[in-house]
């Protein structure tokens, strides 16, 4: 007897589905203003984060031991910003902004377009899976990205 899965609810941390059909389980993320920003084949909450600013790491190019995520980013770009790291040194960030409200969404270390570098970083709490809803972790660790 075939198993019928009719539930459309998104269950938080089950990645079991992705083994069956990873491309079928695309997730859509919105800016807090409701603008569509990102569609990706994996839940952002399941991806690794940077230690420096807790940004979510999206692999945008295949590596020697890892495959790139399938995703599309809908965002504006701007001049690069130089960020000082407490660990020493500076980091150049090419940032992405919401096309509607210009909220900072994420960045990469190489010039546009998206995926020109191996990784894309999404700011912690910048995006929500539900249109018009502020993400749960939006105010999590309220601190400037320069770190302590």
Q: Which residues bind Zn ion (CB under 5 A)?
A: 31, 33, 35, 98, 100-101, 103
State in angstroms the smallest separation of the CB of 105 from Zn ion.
8
Q: Which is nearer to Zn ion, 55 or 127 (CB)?
A: 127
Integer Cα distance of 53 and 58 in angstroms: 14
Q: Which is nearer to Zn ion, 29 or 71 (CB)?
A: 29
Q: Which is nearer to Zn ion, 35 or 91 (CB)?
A: 35
- Helix runs in 2-141, H state only: 17-21
| Cβ proximity of 37 and 73 under 8 Å | yes
State in angstroms the smallest separation of the CB of 48 from Zn ion.
25
State in angstroms the smallest separation of the CB of 141 from Zn ion.
21
Integer Cα distance of 41 and 93 in angstroms: 24
State in angstroms the smallest separation of the CB of 96 from Zn ion.
11
The separation between CA 127 and the C-alpha centre of its own chain, rounded to angstroms, equals 8
In the three-class reduction of DSSP (H, G, I as helix; E, B as strand; rest coil), residue 20 is classed as helix
The residues, any chain, with a CB within 8 Å of residue 36's CB and separated by 6 or more, are 28, 30, 74
Rounded to the nearest 5°, which phi and psi values hold at 17?
-65, -35
Rounded to the nearest 5°, which phi and psi values hold at 41?
-85, 5
Q: Which is nearer to Zn ion, 59 or 75 (CB)?
A: 75
State in angstroms the smallest separation of the CB of 138 from Zn ion.
13
Q: Which is nearer to Zn ion, 61 or 74 (CB)?
A: 74
């Amino acid at each position: 007897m075939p198993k019928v899965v009719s539930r459309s609810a998104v269950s938080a941390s089950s990645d079991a589905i992705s083994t069956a059909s990873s491309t079928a389980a695309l997730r859509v993320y919105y800016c807090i203003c409701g603008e569509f920003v990102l569609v990706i084949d994996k839940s952002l909450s399941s991806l690794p984060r940077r230690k420096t600013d807790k940004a979510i790491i999206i692999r945008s190019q295949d590596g020697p031991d890892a495959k790139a995520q399938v995703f599309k980013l809908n965002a504006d770009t701007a001049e690069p910003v130089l960020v000082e790291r407490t660990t020493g040194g500076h980091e150049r960030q090419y940032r992405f902004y919401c096309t509607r409200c210009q909220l900072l969404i994420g960045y990469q270390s190489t010039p546009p377009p998206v995926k020109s570098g191996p990784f894309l970083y999404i700011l912690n709490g910048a995006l929500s899976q539900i249109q018009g809803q502020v993400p749960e972790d939006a105010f999590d660790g309220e601190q400037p990205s320069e770190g302590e």
